[in-house]
Structure 1
Amino acid sequence: MIISRAAGLLGLLSGAFAYKALSDEGLRNIADPGNDFDIKQGALLAPILQPRVPGTPGSTAVLNHFVDFFRKELPAWELSFQNSTSKTPISGDQETPFVNLIATRDPPWAEQGHVGRLALVAHYDSKIDPPGFIGAIDSAAPCAMLMHAASSLDDALTKKWAAMEAEGDNELDEASGIQILLLDGEEAFKVWTHDDSIYGARSLAEEWEQTMHPATSIYRTPLDAIDLFVLLDLLGSANPRVPSFFRTTHWAYLNMANAETRLRSLKQLQTTPTSPFLREANKKESDRWLGGAIEDDHIPFQARGVDILHMIPAPFPAVWHTMADDGEHLDIPTVKDWAKIVTAFAAEWMELDGYLLPPKKRSPSPGTERTEL
């Protein structure tokens, strides 16, 4: 991502989507990541902490890790890949491949084009320079956070949708689902420009805009079906300061900030910062809004009318784009807290109160057989 000088303001719009806060019991039932974020042995995070430049073996290995996780641990999630190629400033006449992974969980009765989705998003590639760059906050840790959220919500989604079918609530025309987008090619190969950056996001947004659902669908395209695009980036350093970037989605920011506040009051988070991670809950319409100041994977989606909630610290953490952005410099309590905050927000969006039971460990077993793409 890069900071842009052009930062336009957007009009005020309140959220129109269903959203139900979790009870205290529901918040207490948000699963703790346990050892999944251990930088050496953690089932979710450790395999991502390697160079992941697009088109390299490291990128393929990490993509295989994601696929293994969903296919073996969360088989109800539908996996799809969106592939593209592009010349880059360092590839000459050669095309570099980019692979986006989309994991989707929809109600079992839902028809194509009739499901609005919460999209949780992070990029999984790493910078090519400096050589050996890991990108722990950028964005290995955010990817692991989304994997944790998917695992934590899976059983509750199954229970809720089974109850809805039993009660006949599946007759509703519109359904709500959840989607995790793990995007490739966010980083520039040389200097960030509109052409040398966000390769995977640009390709996916363009393809989804042109992919038509059946004529009688509520949502014309997969792009239209994104109710909110929640982008996680640069998360994992201590004491983050995440602003509310867009007036249009400040209502969603308030809901996530409230989830953080309540989790802290219930002593469900490990960190004790002097101020919240999301500290702009009291922001006024007349205050300065930084929407558009940071270029990131959301840009091609926002340009096509998708609402964006950007979870990125400002200022950026000190390790940004340095060799110090590695596993050893992650603040693991902060990583775990972000995982629980994002999971709580998604659970409230999906209205899962009453379906989140005291968690059981669902980590993949180390040393399991790997899927080769």
Structure 2
Amino acid sequence: MPSLSSLVLLCTSALLPFTYGYSTISDNTLNSLPGPGSDFDIHTGALLSPILVPRVSGTSGSLAVLQHFVDFFHNTLPEWTLEFQNSSSTTPTSGGKKIPFVNLIATRDPPGTQPGEVGHLTLVAHYDSKYTPKDFIGATDSAAPCAMLMHVARSIDAALTKKWEAMTTDGLGELEEQKGVQILLLDGEESFLSWTDTDSLYGARALAESWEHAVNPAMSTYRTPLSSISLFLLLDLLGAARPTVPSYFKTTHWSYKYMSALEARLRALGRFKSSPNHPSKLARRAAKAKAKGDKKAIKTRKEPAFLLDFNKQDSQFSPWTGIQDDHLPFMARGVEVLHIIPSPFPTVWHEMEDDGEHLDLDTVEDWATLVTAFAAEWMELEGFFDVEKAEREAGGESEDYEKGRRRTTSKTEL
């Protein structure tokens, strides 16, 4: 006859799928997700403004932005482990000189775990800017996505700590599938002369190759760092108004649908500031109508969607590889990719106008909120956010919210 302790263990194991299994996060949690405050201000924002500088690989601007990332994690998120992956390569414009490329890997794993034991939700953006035109900023490409990922890391950090502490207290840490979060800030995505297989993706190609051959200790759950990537979620060209992002790959359409469902819920809850039906915008329209003596009720407008392919069927996916970007060296090695990049591209793509002044900051914040929600749901953080604190800090939104922030024009096909 089994002992009482064995029976308790068996019963606890049976309940795990319901206690710690994947489940959607609640509306209360979505409402409690922290916003960036002024951290996305293009002039003084603690997260975004230091990235809005020319940062061509191998230049002082690139090093300054890399230091900004390091300082952020060291000072704000000390539980995250930082690692640099270095490589060098000549480029068509370097005159035979090798240019250094530095990838930053920030990882938060459950306490007490060893290399090779943890599968990762891997959030990715490139931080370099284009070599030409001179002094190009690249706000959507990809300063804003980098700032979004910094916000995501900060937003889920305390909830991760609470979850893992609770699991340790309950003795469940070794029973659940180990999951962690990894942020890759990649260097050298841009071409120096023209996009080719060798003049592009310098950092991504070096990191994918390195991780493919870096073998974890024997008996590890994951043989290599590459195989520990459960999902490679790549953000690029985000921050212009009215984006539309297709679902590019059939094998990760399920994850696209999860994110799309979260977008719909956040919009219904009034959390999307770029929405024409956000409470601040409805209040503005009501105030204007009142000033004109119009007593008609303010009607809501058709709600747009960033992720418009929720109902896409398997038969509608083409065999092409999508848009060339940092995911390619990883996907070629079997990594599952969710590519969040608009199609059509923003009209400012590779133009001098791709600067802070042309960002739509409501849209930037909405993307940050959506990716935070996705990460929170992936990491099963329901019940570990400080909902009461969020409610205390919420308050009403001013009708003059973010006055002075300007929006970009709509996009056209390339």
Q: TM-score, normalised by structure 2?
A: 0.82
Q: How does 1:321-332 map to 2 (within 5 A)?
A: 321-332=350-361
Structure 1 residues 289 and 332: CA distance shift in structure 2, 3 A: farther
Pick aligned residue for 1:28 from 26, 31, 40:
31
Look up the match of 1:340: 369
* 1:110 counterpart = 2:113: yes
User: How far 1:291 sits from its partner (Å)?
Assistant: 5.1
Q: How does 1:205-216 map to 2 (within 5 A)?
A: 205-216=208-219
Pick aligned residue for 2:323 from 277, 294, 313:
294
Look up the match of 2:306: 277
Structure 2 stretches lacking a partner, 5+ long = 1-19, 277-302, 394-414
Look up the match of 2:337: 308
Cα deviation code 1:96-140 (max 9, x no counterpart):
000000000000021211100000000000001000000000000
Pick aligned residue for 2:97 from 85, 94, 98:
94
Pick aligned residue for 1:217 from 220, 224, 234:
220
Q: How does 1:2-21 map to 2 (within 5 A)?
A: 19-21=22-24
CA–CA separation in structure 1 for the residues paired with 2:168 and 2:383: 16
Higher normalized helix content (fraction of residues)? 2
CA–CA separation in structure 2 for the residues paired with 1:235 and 1:69: 21
Look up the match of 1:123: 126
CA–CA separation in structure 1 for the residues paired with 2:385 and 2:174: 24
Pick aligned residue for 1:251 from 237, 251, 254:
254
Look up the match of 1:61: 64
Alignment RMSD, CA only? Answer: 1.4
CA–CA separation in structure 2 for the residues paired with 1:71 and 1:112: 21
Look up the match of 1:268: 271
Runs of 4+ aligned residues of structure 1 deviating over 6 Å after TM superposition are none
Q: How does 1:47-196 map to 2 (within 5 A)?
A: 47-172=50-175, 174-196=177-199
Identity %: 61
User: How far 1:269 sits from its partner (Å)?
Assistant: 1.3
Larger RCO of the pair (alpha carbons < 8 Å, separation 6+) = 1
CA–CA separation in structure 2 for the residues paired with 1:290 and 1:245: 10
CA–CA separation in structure 2 for the residues paired with 1:91 and 1:281: 44
SS of the equivalent of 1:169 reads coil
CA–CA separation in structure 2 for the residues paired with 1:195 and 1:295: 13
Asked which structure has the greater CA Rg, the reply is 2
SS of the equivalent of 1:315 reads coil
Instruction: Tell whether the 8 Å contact from 1:230 to 1:308 is kept in structure 2 after alignment.
Output: yes
Deviates more, 1:86-95 or 1:135-144: 86-95
Look up the match of 2:396: none
Cα deviation code 1:336-367 (max 9, x no counterpart):
00000000000000000000114679xxxxxx
Give 2:181's aligned amino acid.
I
SS of the equivalent of 2:129 reads coil
Structure 1 residues 132 and 156: CA distance shift in structure 2, 3 A: same
Instruction: Tell whether the 8 Å contact from 1:36 to 1:43 is kept in structure 2 after alignment.
Output: yes
Give 1:24's aligned amino acid.
D
CA–CA separation in structure 1 for the residues paired with 2:273 and 2:145: 17
Structure 1 residues 290 and 129: CA distance shift in structure 2, 3 A: farther
CA–CA separation in structure 1 for the residues paired with 2:93 and 2:35: 42
Give 1:64's aligned amino acid.
Q
Instruction: Tell whether the 8 Å contact from 1:112 to 1:213 is kept in structure 2 after alignment.
Output: yes
Structure 1 residues 173 and 214: CA distance shift in structure 2, 3 A: farther
Q: TM-score, normalised by structure 1?
A: 0.90
* 1:232 counterpart = 2:235: yes
Structure 1 stretches lacking a partner, 5+ long = 1-16, 362-373
SS of the equivalent of 2:133 reads coil
How many correspondences in the alignment? 345
CA–CA separation in structure 2 for the residues paired with 1:290 and 1:327: 36
CA–CA separation in structure 1 for the residues paired with 2:328 and 2:116: 23
Give 2:310's aligned amino acid.
A
User: How far 1:334 sits from its partner (Å)?
Assistant: 0.1
Pick aligned residue for 2:385 from 356, 360, 363:
356
CA–CA separation in structure 1 for the residues paired with 2:22 and 2:200: 34
Deviates more, 1:129-138 or 1:351-360: 351-360
Give 1:75's aligned amino acid.
P
